[in-house]
Structure 1
Amino acid sequence: MQVAIASGKGGVGKSTITASLLYFLKDRYKLIAVDADAEAPNLGLLLGVEEWEEEREHIGAKVAKINTETCVRCGICYERCPYESIYIDEDGNYIVNELTCEGCNVCGLVCPVPGTITLEQARSGVIRKATTKYGFPIISAQLDVGRPESGKLVTEEKEWAKKLMDELNLEHMIVDSAAGIGCQVIASIGGADLTILIAEPTPASLSDVQRAYKVVQHFRQPAYLIINKADLNPGFTALREWAEAEGIPVIGEVPYDRAIPKSMAMLKPVVEAFPDSPASKALKEIAERIAEEILG
């Protein structure tokens, strides 16, 4: 199975919970992890990855380039660029800032000298593979600064993971998606068999998880909910009420626990660093439910 873990909001503990679930499930299943947050990948840190065994460049972005020899310095491209990515250097040449260029080609269309402004391919990021200290593989990606195509990076990550599943006879893929509902999240949830949503009992988290659930509904997937920091706001009942109204099973609650930030500083899942902590005990019960009711 392919299981996506999403939240719609950053900071709700998605990667922390993912690492802990992987830790518990690794002895029962042959797993592969995918860190689908290409803009800020950190799952590998919690799983003991110190170096990457293999890296692949992703070439797909396009940036404009101005030929200063044929440029007549009319300034039309400078005026028309919708992203203000063209500047004038100290020699009076018009230069494209590759970090902000979106490759829209407006500059090329308005340039009066054919062939002076061209679009060239550029690297969007890198996709990499490693073996965690727990023995299962992980695929991660790092988007280059200012580059688009984060969704395509995640799609390539998952394709690489699928090939490894076939080669290594693995059973399940656990995908730790990014925050929000952008391209990365859509690519993470698309093709999955189900999505586990992570939320905390606050109005902001409820609003964002509702948006993430709409993405899940678009792909016609079943969804489950884990409530993190469940005792943080005991008077807030709207999250559970929403889940009940939508028919989303709540597979567990994790209490607020100071052991979690301590374990993150140690670069370990909390269930390994502090196995007797309240959060670790709750996560163990959740892992058991996932194993019995979802993965089978």
Structure 2
Amino acid sequence: MQLVIASGKGGVGKSTVTASLLYLLKDEYNFVAVDADADAPNLDLLLGVERWEEEMELVGAKVAHINTESCIRCGICQERCPYDCIKVIDGDYVVSELTCEGCNVCSLVCPVPGTITLEEVRSGIIRKTTTKYGFPLISAQLDVGRPNSGKLVTEEKEWAKNLMKELGLKHMIVDSAAGIGCQVIASIGGADLTILIAEPTPASLSDVQRAYRVIQHFRQPAYLIINKADFNPGFRALHEWAESEGIPILGEVPYDKAVPKSMAMLKPVVEAFPDSKASQAIKEIAERIKAEILK
């Protein structure tokens, strides 16, 4: 089974809950974990990863390069660049690699053929390690200013699939990025189901609804976990929405100061503070996942 954990909104505790669920499921299920937030990966921090065993570069992004020797300095490329990434430095027209999107407009308008070319550059890296808990983790890091975050996630999942075949693993658990962008679409595409995590606020409700529409596009079942469930007790719209859409609620996790303490210790809260309120709630959720999803 390929299971995705998504949120729609950042900061709702998705990766924190994911790390604890991985810890609770590790003894009964053999799986590979994938951190599919290439912009800001953090699952390795929550699992106390200290080193990576393998790394692979993804080359696919393109940026413009101006040959200063054949450039006639007419300035047309700078005028037409839609991203304003061409600057004049010491009399030469130079492309800023951090802001260039590789759209090729500058090359098309340049009056001197061959002066401006598109060159491939690295988009980011994909890396693998075996966590101290025994299961493999695959993560990615997008380079600053680079596109192809969705491609990175797709390559992560391909590596995970190969690893599943190689090691005889049965499940892939994907910690998706926030939002509904390319990374999230790449995470949810091809999965069997998605577990949504939200907190009881209007902003979280709005964003989780958008994420759910992506899930509906892929015709997948969805479940919901409500995190920090008790800090806004009068807000019932999240429950009402889940009920109206027929989305089962796996459980509710209360706000608990043990969670940030465990993060500082680089451990899942269920390991660092197993008797805390949050840990007890997550343990109940893990049991429901075992009974209803991974049965």
Decide: shared fold, TM above 0.5.
yes
- Structure 2's unaligned 5+ residue stretches are none
Supply the distance in 2 between the matched residues of 1:292 and 1:21 (Cα, whole angstroms).
14
Identity of aligned residues (%): 82
Aligned equivalents of 2:31 and 2:43: distance in 1?
Answer: 15
Secondary structure of the structure 2 residue equivalent to 1:61: strand
RMSD: 0.4
Cα distance per residue 1:125-180 (max 9 Å; x no partner): 00000010101000000000000000000000000000000000001111000010
Q: Distance in 2 between matches of 1:8 and 1:228?
A: 13
- Matches of 1:31 and 1:262 in 2, distance apart? 27
Query: Are 1:252 and 2:268 matched, yes or no?
Result: no
For 2:99, the aligned partner's letter is T
Distance (Å, rounded) in 2 between the aligned partners of 1:8 and 1:186: 11
TM-score (norm. length: structure 2): 1.00
1:263 and 2:256 are equivalent in the alignment: no
Q: What's 1:10 paired with?
A: 10
1:64-79 correspondence to structure 2 within 5 Å: 64-79=64-79
Letter matched to residue 142 of structure 1: Q
**Normalization by structure 1: what TM-score?**
0.99
Q: Could you tell me how far 1:45 is from its partner in structure 2?
A: 1.0
Amino acid paired to 1:274 = F
1:32-83 deviations in whole A, cap 9, x for unaligned? 1000000000101111210100000000000000000000000000111000
Give, in whole Å, the separation in 2 of the partners of 1:294 and 1:121.
Answer: 43
Equivalence for 1:81: 81
Match for residue 194 of structure 1? 193
What residue identity is the alignment partner of 1:221?
Q
Identify unmatched segments of 5+ residues in structure 1.
none
| 1:31 Cα deviation from its structure 2 partner | 1.2
Cα distance between partner residues in 2 of 1:57 and 1:216: 29
What SS does the corresponding residue of 2:293 show, helix, strand or coil? helix
Q: Aligned equivalents of 1:17 and 1:258: distance in 2?
A: 14
In structure 2, give the amino acid aligned to 1:170: L
Rounded to whole Å, the distance in 2 between the matches of 1:13 and 1:281 is 16
Structure 2 counterpart SS, 1:239 = helix
Partner of 1:295, secondary structure, is coil
